[in-house]
Structure 1
Amino acid sequence: MINYIVITASACYGFQDQGVMIAAANQDLWQGGAACGKYFQVTCTGATNQGVPHPCTDTPTVTVMITDFCPPPGCKGNLDLSHEAFSTIADPRAGGIKISYEEYVINYLFFNSFLF
């Protein structure tokens, strides 16, 4: 399950802007802060309640960077997405959705070869 939140300061980067496609990790993913800066591809797979029976959008997958910690007991799911990330993959009125996710590793060596 996943919810969306408004992020101000983050546990990873303080007040440094990291863009809008960001998320907070639950305790299992957080790993004492090791999740900071990691990217995850998150896909909406369905509804968690009857409020919005088909919440997933036509673009059901988004890549987000972990910038914050979502501590228990307030963290209701694996990830809390920013509003922008959540609304890309699901109807914000849903509040929470079922997801699948996996870590997304960026190949910086390949990326940097195009910078020169």
Structure 2
Amino acid sequence: MTDTRLSFKEMCGKFDVTPRTLRYYEYIELLEPEKDGRSRWYGSREVARMTLILRGRRFGFSLEEIRQWLMIYRQKGNKPQLQAWVDLADRQLAELERQRVELDLTLSDLRALRETAAKEL
């Protein structure tokens, strides 16, 4: 990554998040921008962290899980963080598979009920 710094507004635009979301991520210590008076500046580290945060949310992880995972790197380094990631991913994959089975069953039930109703018309 480059050493380019993004302003608060640029960071919101780059990641398509609201100012409230970005402030909240700072509040819960997911992001630590440089502060110059009232201005906030986001360097390559914060851009990378934001990418990981949003990816983690898309995968279904809670913000607390993401925060703890990011803290592992600072406290213990890369290898423990990767192991924690594998453990989280395994758990989430199992949960998503469970949800897919449940969703498939729900879709099947809904189709059957719709068919029954359509035949009665």
TM-score norm. by structure 2 comes to 0.24
More strand by share: 1
More helix by share: 2
TM-score norm. by structure 1 comes to 0.25
Tell me which of the two structures has the higher relative contact order, counting C-alpha pairs closer than 8 angstroms and 6 or more residues apart.
1
